[in-house]
Structure 1
Amino acid sequence: MEHDDTDPVSARRVLITGAGGQLGQALRRAFAGDEVIALTRADWDVSFPPPPGLPPLDLVLHAAAWTNVDGAEDDPQAAAAVNVGGSAHAAELGAPVVAFSSDYVFDGRKGAPYVESDGPSPLSAYGRTKLHGEAAAGERAWVVRSSWLFGPTGHNFVRTMLRLGAERDEVSVVDDQRGCPTYVGHLAAATRELVDGGAPFGVWHLAAAGECTWAGFAEAIFAQAGLDCRVRRVTTAQFGARAPRPAYSVLRSEKGAPELPHWREGLAECIARIGAAT
């Protein structure tokens, strides 16, 4: 009798929303061993119900989101349609959901790292939509809160600083907000570890090790990229952003969530990837 070494277990069928975004693309790489259905915004605007004809699913990675924090202050209904309605529509698919949320569900007044059992108190319209989106994801969901996401594609702080640092001698950056810049590649890998490790449904904090201010992050970006650009440290009030943000939103896990590498490791990998793509 010949030995049949094919795997009798069929591949897990995973749907990714927001697959064209920076996190969605990282999830596509992290879950590449599965049967992945990657839907960009053009394929499915999650503010509307799911498209017809989708096959049965084993897992939904819900990365689609309204991410314009200041824009949500001007159009909270549109932000809620994506961040709350989108989570509800992802849950309608009937499979377990990973719903990605934000450190901005907290007000920053704790002054120490936030853990999963801390009570949310969002300051902004964006933060409120993310918090309501957590509930809309339903009971069969891993709610993954992370912070200050960056990657080699999409719109994020690293790519903005690289552009400005190449154009200017000095940039003004806020120095009184502190958090955990998190590389999407590391977040995607930790998400896979969480799901594959049999973690129970509920809230999980997955953010990079270490912490810094936006100004400190900008200085590290310029140093890593070899850009000769000074950082002028300013206050949140001086900067004058439309939406209020927490002054301290470092996330840590009290539940034994997978640990991510230090944000500086993520930054080095991100800039290397950007360099390789140019």
Structure 2
Amino acid sequence: MRILVTGANGQLGNEMQVLAKENPQHTYYFTDVQDLDICNKDAIWAYIAEKQIELIVNCAAYTAVDKAEDNPELARQLNCEAPKELARAAQFHGAAMIQVSTDYVFDGTAHTPYAEDCEPCPDSVYGTTKLAGEYEVINNCKQAIVIRTAWLYSTFGNNFVKTMLRLGKERDNLGVVFDQIGTPTYANDLAQAIYSIINKGIVPGIYHFSNEGVCSWYDFTVAIHRLAGITSCKVRPLHTAEYPAKANRPAYSVLDKTKIKTTFGIEIPHWEESLERCLEKL
């Protein structure tokens, strides 16, 4: 299969490149903005036609959650308009599409894990634009899958794990919010799930994927420091109100992963097990 992966320089895109070596039966086109500007409609259509793309995995997004509040138009371009055009071009050329989305499509007021059929209710520009992108992809490409994920980290780029490692070494104490609950997701595990879907065959619809288990950002930080052997930094729990941010974060964004596990036979590791694997690579 001829596969286009956009956003190839991001966390997930990089993990897709790493795992491509284990899936040599496909031909890959890994692109970032300098190779293919997905905000350029003509460029999208020309690229997909020229390379005869059969599947698009869109890992590109505007993910700066707070900055999105000040740049709603840019967030909309990348998170909604670009996926829409990718989906339209995919449909025209008989290709399939996998769109990566987010737990931020929910406002986080639930107390039990969000299933795919729960009513979305985003509470930020980022969440709103990502949800709009989901609708565009599903409405414009018959063979489309949306995968919502959460709290993504990896050995690539900037992310929460790397920041906590750095601060743990630089400071003797650190405050981290304890009243936002979710599940960290190792981007390598998500990439492996995407390859499982590709190899088993597209079953259109919305799916949820994160690692197993539940924790707060505070718990996550404590685990990062413990597994990394950082003992000199005391981590203290903060209320969200003590750490003001421009965009609202979901207080509870645990995703129910039953559908993706049963549909594609995917086994998902516990978040702490995956964190340990990531830290070993770092």
TM-score by length of 1: 0.91
The answer as to 2:40 corresponding to 1:36 is no
1:179 to 179, 182, 205: 182
Q: Give the deviation of 1:48 after TM superposition.
A: 2.1
Mapped pair 1:69 → 2:65: yes
Taking only aligned residues, the RMSD between alpha carbons, in angstroms, comes to 1.4
CA contact (8 A) 2:96 2:202 kept: no
Alignment deviations for residues 105-164 of structure 1 (CA, whole Å, 9 cap, x no partner):
011111110011111000111000110010121332110011000000112100111111
- Letter of the aligned partner of 2:167 in structure 1? L
Which residues in structure 2 correspond to 1:138-217 (within 5 Å)? 138=140, 139-217=142-220
Q: Is the 8 A contact 2:143 2:202 kept in 1?
A: no
In structure 1, the partner of 2:252 is: 248
Residue 226 of structure 2 aligns to a residue whose secondary structure is helix
Deviation at 1:194, TM superposition (A): 2.2
Distance between the aligned counterparts of 1:88 and 1:193, measured in 2? 24
Contact kept, 8 Å, 1:20 with 1:41, in 2: the verdict is: no
Structure 1 residue 254, shift from structure 2 partner: 3.8
Query: Does the 8 Å CA contact 1:187/1:260 hold for their aligned counterparts?
Result: no
Secondary structure of the corresponding residue to residue 219 of structure 1: helix
SS at match of 2:3: strand
* Alpha-carbon distance, 1:197 to partner: 2.2
- Number of residues of Structure 1 aligned to a counterpart in Structure 2: 263
**1:146–1:205 contact (8 Å) kept in structure 2:** yes
User: Which amino acid letter does the alignment assign opposite residue 146 of structure 1?
Assistant: T
Which one-letter code corresponds to 2:81 in the other structure?
G
Match of 1:249, as an amino acid? S
> Could you tell which deviates more after superposition, 43-52 or 15-24?
43-52
Contact 1:209 1:259 in 2 (8 A): no
Shift of 1:40: 1.4
State the distance in 1 between where 2:33 and 2:268 align: 28
SS in structure 1 at match of 2:189 = helix
Cα distance in 1 between the residues matched to 2:258 and 2:271 = 20
Offset at residue 199 of structure 1 (A): 4.6
Residue 107 of structure 2 is aligned to residue 104 of structure 1:
no
Does the aligned pair in 1 maintain the 2:7–2:58 contact within 8 Å?
A: yes
Q: Hey, what's the Cα distance between the residues in 1 that align with 2:199 and 2:116? A: 20
**In structure 2, what is the Cα distance between the partners aligned to 1:144 and 1:59?**
15
Percent identity between the two aligned chains: 41
Amino acid at match of 1:239: Y
Q: Which has the higher helix share?
A: 2
Q: For residue 241 of structure 1, what is the amino acid of its counterpart? A: A
2:236 maps to what in 1? Answer: 232
| Structure 2 residue matching 1:92: 3-state secondary structure | helix
TM-score (norm 2): 0.89
Unaligned runs of 5+ in 2: none
Q: Residue 93 of structure 1 aligns to a residue in which SS? A: helix
* Superposition deviation, residue 171 in structure 1: 1.3
Deviates more, 1:49-58 or 1:16-25: 49-58
